[in-house]
Amino acid sequence: NAGVTQTPKFQVLKTGQSMTLQCAQDMNHNSMYWYRQDPGMGLRLIYYSASEGTTDKGEVPNGYNVSRLNKREFSLRLESAAPSQTSVYFCASSGRGQGYEQYFGPGTRLTVT
């Protein structure tokens, strides 16, 4: 039982390049999320998916797209990376626990130069 896995762990991009961050969970959770965390700040929601086949914008969606490929997988795509997207990205999932608590992956540290 791996929980939430993310790939890659680290990535360096040049401005204008594109990439996809991958996330998978094996807990049979319906909901999945993508967050970014900048230094000294909390987690800000980029996109979330309440169930397979649905996605919705969070607080900071500009410059990102997502795909909920199936119940297990939720990917985040940067079409044209910008230095402002340098951050640590976390994927999370939640089921119908008491408070819908979220389970997080280990994060992807992305640097855009």
Partner 1 sequence: DQQVKQNSPSLSVQEGRISILNCDYTNSMFDYFLWYKKYPAEGPTFLISISSIKDKNEDGRFTVFLNKSAKHLSLHIVPSQPGDSAVYFCAARFHAGKSTFGDGTTLTVKP
Is 61 near partner 1 (CB under 8 A)? no
Q: Which residues contact 2 (CB under 8 A, 6 or more apart)?
A: 26
**Terminal Cα-to-Cα distance of the chain (whole angstroms):** 36
Q: How far is the CB of 13 from partner 1 (least distance, A)?
A: 20
Spatial separation of the C-alpha atoms in residues 104 and 33, rounded to whole Å: 9
**Candidate residues 76, 92, 110, 112; the one interacting with partner 1 per rule CB under 8 A:** 92
Is 31 near partner 1 (CB under 8 A)? yes
Is 53 near partner 1 (CB under 8 A)? no
**Candidate residues 55, 58, 60, 61; the one interacting with partner 1 per rule CB under 8 A:** 58
β-pair type (4-7, 19-25): antiparallel
Per-residue DSSP letter, 92: E
Q: Which residue has the tokens 């044209």?
A: 80
* Contacts to partner 1 by CB under 8 A: 4, 31, 33, 35, 40-45, 48, 50, 58-59, 90, 92, 94, 98-107
